[in-house]
Structures are given as C-alpha cells and as structure tokens.
C-alpha cells in the first residue's frame, strides 16, 4: 500500500510539473519538443545561426522583411517567431507563435532561449548548414578532396550542403563553436 501511494505521489508530481510547464510559460505543445522550428527577424540573425549550429531548423528572412510576413511564415510552417521588437510584439494579438526576447548580448539571448523555450544547445550540433539551413549529408570521397590539405589531414568528418554546395569539417573553428554550445547548455 505504501509503495502504491509512493507511485501515486510520483505520478501527481510529474503531472503537476507537466501542467506548470505548459501553463506558466504559455507555450504551445510543439514549442517544448526537440523538433521545434524558428523564424528570426533581422535583429536576431546571429542568434538564428547559433540555433542552426545546435541543429534547429531556422528560417532567417532577408533584411527588411515586414513583421507581418514573418508572422505569416511562422504560422504557415509551424515555426516560432523570435523577435526583440517590443513595439512589433505589442501591436500583434497574443499568439503562441511569437516569442519576445529581452536580451541584448548574444550570450544572454542563448541563456534566455534556454529558459523560455528549453532550447537544447546540444540537440544535433552541426547537422545543418549555417548559411542556408539545409540538413547536411556526409561528403563523398571526391568532396573530401576539396578540403585544404592541412584541414583534411586532421578532420575526422566532412559534411556537405546539397543546396549551397559548402563543405564543413571539424576544425578548430567548429571546436570553438562546440565549446560555446556546451557553455550555453550548461555542460562546461
Ligand atoms: Zn547550405
């Protein structure tokens, strides 16, 4: 009997935590899943690239795209629109697709996203093209040959973007980016 009560207590705590997660933060269910997708306004392009580095699907619209167009895209594609534009956010009806960030510095933005949306900065690191958002694929032997000698000799993996034809390999730049993702994730 005691054991049954204990199990019930655990289930009640879990359910309470679950309800708090969705009610307190007023987030749509999809926003808490690892597969959430984003669209960024022009003020948050840098943050958008960090989300791509973490493996998230992030649309970054060209500069000057109107706020309404951004929001339409978010709704049509099930994306979360990230903005720091308080005026824009204030003019719109409250919607689950819009998340207003208060941060100024990029590190603070990474932290704020961890807190507001439980972004996992180690979701699928370096699985997307940082330039165009396309999922990367393993480079062929022929594509490996395009990597400069110095880097190719040290690289353990080379990935290829089938859209913009860029190659990415695990050099020192990627290592520095990975360390920043780990810091944002609270691992180091
Ligand atoms: Zn690309």
DSSP string, the chain: -HHHHHHHHHHHHHHHHHHHHHHHTT--GGGGSTT-EEEE-GGGHHHHHHHHHTT-EEEEPPTT--HHHHHHHHHHHTEEEEE--HHHHHHSPP-TTEEE----SHHHHHHHHHHHH---TTSSTT-B-TTT-PBPEEPPHHHHTTS-HHHHHH-S-EEE-TTT--EEE-SHHHHHHHHHHHHHTT--
pLDDT of residue 106: 92
Name the residue with higher pLDDT: 26 or 94. 94
Query: Distance, CA 47 to ligand 1 centroid (Å)?
Result: 17
Q: Which of 117, 148, 170 is the last residue of a domain?
A: 117
| Mean pLDDT for the stretch of residues 109-116 | 94
Q: Which of 117, 146, 174 is the last residue of a domain?
A: 117
pLDDT of residue 67: 82
Query: Distance, CA 90 to ligand 1 centroid (Å)?
Result: 34
pLDDT of residue 127: 96
The fraction of the chain above a pLDDT of 70, given in percent, is 80
Instruction: Read off the pLDDT band of 187 (50, 70, 90).
Output: confident
Is residue 91 in a domain?
yes
Verify that 100 and 142 share a domain, yes or no.
Answer: no
Is residue 3 in a domain?
no
Is residue 102 in a domain?
yes
Query: Distance, CA 138 to ligand 1 centroid (Å)?
Result: 13
Query: Distance, CA 130 to ligand 1 centroid (Å)?
Result: 7
Q: Check whether 122 has a pLDDT greater than 80.
A: yes
Residue range 20-65, pLDDT digits in tens? 333 334 444 444 556 899 999 888 999 999 999 999 999 998 888 8
Q: Which of 82, 117, 152 is the last residue of a domain?
A: 117
Query: Distance, CA 133 to ligand 1 centroid (Å)?
Result: 6
Number of domains in the chain: 2
Domain range for 156: 137-184
Verify that 101 and 142 share a domain, yes or no.
Answer: no
Verify that 104 and 142 share a domain, yes or no.
Answer: no
- pTM, whole model, 2 decimals? 0.79
Verify that 51 and 102 share a domain, yes or no.
Answer: yes
Verify that 48 and 76 share a domain, yes or no.
Answer: yes
pLDDT of residue 33: 54
Query: Distance, CA 121 to ligand 1 centroid (Å)?
Result: 20
């Amino acid at each position: 009997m005691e054991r049954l009560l204990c199990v019930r207590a655990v289930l009640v705590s879990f359910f309470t935590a679950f309800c708090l997660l969705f009610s307190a933060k007023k987030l749509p269910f999809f926003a808490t899943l690892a597969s959430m997708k984003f669209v960024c306004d022009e003020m948050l392009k840098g943050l958008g690239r960090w989300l791509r580095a973490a493996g998230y699907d992030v649309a970054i619209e060209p500069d000057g795209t109107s706020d309404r167009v951004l929001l339409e895209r978010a709704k049509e594609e099930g994306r979360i629109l990230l903005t720091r534009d308080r005026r824009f956010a204030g003019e719109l009806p409250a919607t689950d697709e819009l998340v207003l960030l208060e941060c100024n510095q990029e590190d603070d933005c990474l932290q704020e996203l961890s807190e507001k949306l439980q972004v996992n900065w180690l979701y699928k690191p370096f699985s997307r093209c940082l330039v165009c958002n396309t999922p990367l694929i393993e480079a062929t032997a022929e594509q490996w040959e395009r990597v400069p000698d110095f880097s190719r000799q040290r690289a353990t993996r080379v990935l290829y973007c089938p859209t913009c034809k860029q190659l990415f390999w695990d050099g020192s730049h990627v290592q520095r980016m990975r360390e920043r993702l780990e810091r944002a994730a609270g691992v180091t």
